[in-house]
């Protein structure tokens, strides 16, 4: 009898030999689960990579193709990408000859409104009423002047008029007309220099009034007709 056989046991329960019986290790369920997750992840990555390759060789999605040709994607308006058109485009500033200005004098100095109105007229503005300021503003404007007009003129006529002098305030009233008021204040001396005002207006995107060409002196020989200027190239939309 082997020494491995417990005392009192024999027969078919007798253990023979000199080695311990081989015991199978219990299966590790954690390893099985991790192996299954790993296999699933591998197949998912392989499938995603296959879809990407198919998308590349088939020319890409519609948005990608449009972006490559500069047509913009779904978020582009009108297929123009970052171009601003329609309601998104900034409203062009009116020209001086499209603006009617009423000039009022709120200072004790006489004739100031007439002198200023004449200078504005030379710069292309239309002149409306000229005179003393209404009682509401007479001798009550302490700075250079007050620009007064309807709310919709704040980004138009009032902005253009504001390039002609500095240090003014801008206010809106309930008027229905398109004309604007320039009320001269206590600190007003004169309008800004024309070249400076034109430069400021150009920087804002406006168009200064064209200067009148001096008259030509008569000559003995008839001058040849001026050559026709080439048409200007259309401005880019973007």
Residues 25, 27, 32, 33, CA torsion sign? negative
pLDDT > 70? residue 160: yes
- Averaged over 4-18, what is the pLDDT? 57
DSSP label of 126: E
**In the chain, what percentage of residues exceed pLDDT 90?**
48
Q: Residue 96 — very low, low, confident or very high, per pLDDT cuts 50/70/90?
A: very high
Percentage of residues in the chain with pLDDT exceeding 70? 59
pLDDT tens digits, residue range 176-208?
888 999 999 999 999 999 999 999 999 999 999
Helix (H/G/I), strand (E/B), else coil: 105: strand
Cα angle vertex 87, ends 76, 83, to 5°?
Answer: 40
User: What are the tens digits of pLDDT across the range 162-179?
Assistant: 999 999 999 999 998 889
Which residues are bridge partners to 170 per DSSP?
Answer: 147
Q: pTM score > 0.75 for this model?
A: no
pLDDT of 95 over the 70 cut? yes
Q: What pLDDT shows up at residue 18?
A: 56
Give, rounded to a whole angstrom, the gap between the first and last alpha carbons of the chain.
103
Q: Which residues contact 164 (CB under 8 A, 6 or more apart)?
A: 120, 123, 191, 192, 197
Section 36-46 average pLDDT: 78
């Amino acid at each position: 009898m082997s020494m491995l056989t417990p005392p009192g046991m024999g027969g078919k329960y007798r253990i023979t030999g000199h080695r311990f019986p081989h015991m199978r290790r219990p299966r590790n369920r954690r390893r099985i689960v991790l192996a299954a997750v790993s296999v699933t992840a591998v197949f998912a990555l392989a499938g995603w990579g296959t879809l990407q390759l198919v998308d590349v060789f088939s020319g890409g999605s519609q948005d990608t193709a449009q972006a490559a040709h500069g047509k913009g994607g779904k978020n582009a308006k009108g297929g123009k990408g970052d171009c601003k058109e329609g309601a998104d485009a900034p409203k062009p500033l009116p020209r001086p000859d499209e603006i009617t200005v009423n000039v009022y004098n709120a200072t004790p100095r006489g004739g100031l409104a007439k002198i200023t109105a004449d200078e504005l007229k030379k710069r292309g503005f239309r002149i409306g009423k000229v005179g003393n300021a209404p009682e509401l503003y007479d001798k009550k404007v302490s700075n250079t002047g007050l620009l007064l007009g309807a709310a919709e003129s704040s980004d138009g006529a009032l902005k253009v008029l504001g390039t002609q002098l500095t240090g003014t305030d801008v206010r809106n009233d309930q008027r229905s007309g398109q004309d604007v008021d320039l009320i001269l204040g206590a600190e007003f001396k004169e309008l800004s220099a024309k070249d400076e005002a034109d430069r400021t207006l150009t920087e804002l995107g406006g168009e200064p009034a064209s200067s009148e060409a001096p008259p030509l002196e008569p000559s003995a020989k008839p001058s040849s007709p001026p050559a026709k200027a080439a048409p200007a190239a259309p401005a880019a939309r973007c």
